[in-house]
Amino acid sequence: MRLITYGNENATKKYTPRRAMMYVPGNDWKKINKISSMGADSFILDCEDGVALNRKDEARSNIQKIFQEKMFSVLKSELSVRINSIESGLCKKDLETILKGPIFPSTLHLPKMETKVQLDWLAQELESLLGKNHNIKLIVFVESARALLDMKELIQHCFTLMDQGAPFNLEAAVFGSDDFCADIGATRTPEAKELIYSRQHFVTCAKAYRLQAIDLVYINFKDMDGLLRQSVEGAQMGFTGKQVIHPSQIEIVQQAFSPSKEKIQWARELVQSFDQHQQSGKGAFTFHGNMIDMPLLLQARNILKMADRLDQN
Ligand code: 1VU
């Protein structure tokens, strides 16, 4: 089983930050026109749940137009597309319209990933629409109990397909908490205690394959304190970013998923101190009142790596 060279850990690949992943309904020009003035790392032009059934065609053709006319060509953020789930029966038309070309989105989101057969289907569709010379970044959504239990096998299957030449590169996984709650019969609460196990399972699985792990949406978009609390919690749990639905959520989320100046300084000093103690033959030592050994060094290095990726060093 290959682990280390998969996903964003591959040193030769450029890291795409996705601290805030902002949904913009693909049929809503008022919101689409706001993209350039919002500073999210990643925008998702949505064809799925943010778009009513009778507006799907409109969303598809708007999105196709946006790419062909290079409407956001100077945008520094990622501009991606969420298609409808394969099960919905709407996905084929999404792909055929959006990937008509010659200009393609760099990144596709596949909601409600459930089975290997679906992934095989996607690989074939993409190959017939893009050919073998294009490679699209893929982000998969885990939104049901079954998908969470099968997540490891489904991710492994993606990598098998990639090894066989499928024209996608799996980079991230998104936890679709609201569909997940509906699936297991849980009640969503602001504290999200009902999701602790599933978030931990999800993040462990994503990180085992070196994928970015994107946390749940905070749907009460006027509650900034709650958003901050849940964002900090997600970052502490190992998530790399969070889905957002409203412009007012972007800044709070991006901050929460960025290492602070103080944390970067702490990590730099810790690494330095660790090296000095190693040279004097000490594996464990006291630093800022805490015991430090190898696992803490690895955590400090994670902070510096993230700061480097976000260009904060
Ligand atoms: O100040 P203006 O009137 O010019 O602009 C409004 C509004 O248009 C704009 N805005 C957005 N712009 C771009 N993308 C957005 N997602 C977005 N949301 C709002 O910001 C200004 C202030 O907006 P508001 O406070 O008046 O809010 P609205 O009533 O206009 O909109 C609220 C909702 C929640 C409906 C809106 O934010 C929205 O549609 N968000 C995206 C919802 C979505 O895509 N849901 C699916 C993904 S989440 C999921 O599947 C799991 C739960």
Mean pLDDT score, 98-116? 95
Asked if 204 and 120 sit in the same domain, the reply is yes
Is any ligand 1 atom within 6 A of the Cβ of residue 30?
yes
Answer yes or no: is 3 within a domain: no
Can you name the residues that pair with 109 across neighbouring β-strands?
A: 82, 139
Q: Would you say the ipTM is above 0.90?
A: yes
Question: Is the separation of the CB atoms in 273 and 285 below 8 Å?
Answer: yes
- Give yes or no for residue 4 having a pLDDT over 70: no
Domain count, the chain: 2
Q: How confident is the model at residue 3 (pLDDT cuts 50, 70, 90)?
A: very low
pLDDT over 70, % of the chain: 95
Q: pTM for the whole thing? A: 0.93
Q: In angstroms, rounded to a whole number, what is the distance separating the alpha carbons of residues 295 and 286?
A: 14
* Tokens read off for 220: 């009460």
DSSP 18: -
Answer yes or no: is 9 within a domain: no
Q: In angstroms, rounded to a whole number, what is the distance separating the alpha carbons of residues 47 and 94?
A: 8
Residues in the chain: 313
Going by alpha carbons, the residue nearest to atom 24 of ligand 1 is 246
311 is catalytic: no
Q: 147-173, pLDDT tens digit by residue?
A: 999 999 999 999 999 999 999 999 999
Asked if 292 and 251 sit in the same domain, the reply is no
Q: In angstroms, rounded to a whole number, what is the distance separating the alpha carbons of residues 69 and 23?
A: 21
Sign of CA dihedral 223, 225, 231, 234: negative
Answer yes or no: is 13 within a domain: no
pLDDT of residue 1: 40
Is any ligand 1 atom within 6 A of the Cβ of residue 46?
yes
pLDDT of residue 134: 84
Catalytic residue among 223, 275, 293, 308: 293
Q: How confident is the model at residue 12 (pLDDT cuts 50, 70, 90)?
A: low
pLDDT of residue 8: 40
Is any ligand 1 atom within 6 A of the Cβ of residue 36?
no
Asked if 98 and 182 sit in the same domain, the reply is yes
Output the domain CATH number for residue 144: 3.20.20.60
- Give yes or no for residue 230 having a pLDDT over 50: yes
Is any ligand 1 atom within 6 A of the Cβ of residue 49?
yes
Going by alpha carbons, the residue nearest to atom 28 of ligand 1 is 246
**Residue span of the structural domain in which 173 resides:** 20-258
Counting ligand 1 atoms within 8 A of each CB, the residue from 31, 88, 181, 224 with the most, and so the one to mutate, is 31
* Tokens read off for 65: 């137009």
Asked if 122 and 217 sit in the same domain, the reply is yes
Is any ligand 1 atom within 6 A of the Cβ of residue 50?
yes
Average pLDDT for the chain: 94
Mean pLDDT score, 65-83? 95
Q: Which ranges in 185-293 belong to alpha helices (H)?
A: 196-208, 224-237, 247-256, 261-279
CA 22 – ligand 1 centroid, Å:
10
- Give yes or no for residue 110 having a pLDDT over 80: yes
- Give yes or no for residue 94 having a pLDDT over 90: yes
> How crowded is the C-beta side of 214, counted as CA atoms within 13 Å?
26
CA 30 – ligand 1 centroid, Å:
10
Asked if 308 and 202 sit in the same domain, the reply is no
- Report the range of poorest mean pLDDT among 6-15, 119-128, 146-155, 243-252: 6-15
pLDDT of residue 132: 74
For residue 265, give the 3-state DSSP assignment. helix
CA 262 to chain centre: 26
**All residues at 6 or more sequence positions from 216 whose CB lies less than 8 Å from its CB, including other chains:** 175, 176, 177, 178, 192, 195, 199, 230, 234, 242, 243
Q: How confident is the model at residue 311 (pLDDT cuts 50, 70, 90)?
A: confident
Apex 217 CA angle, 26 and 31, nearest 5: 30
* Annotated binding-site members: 82, 143, 179
Asked if 304 and 249 sit in the same domain, the reply is no
Going by alpha carbons, the residue nearest to atom 32 of ligand 1 is 246
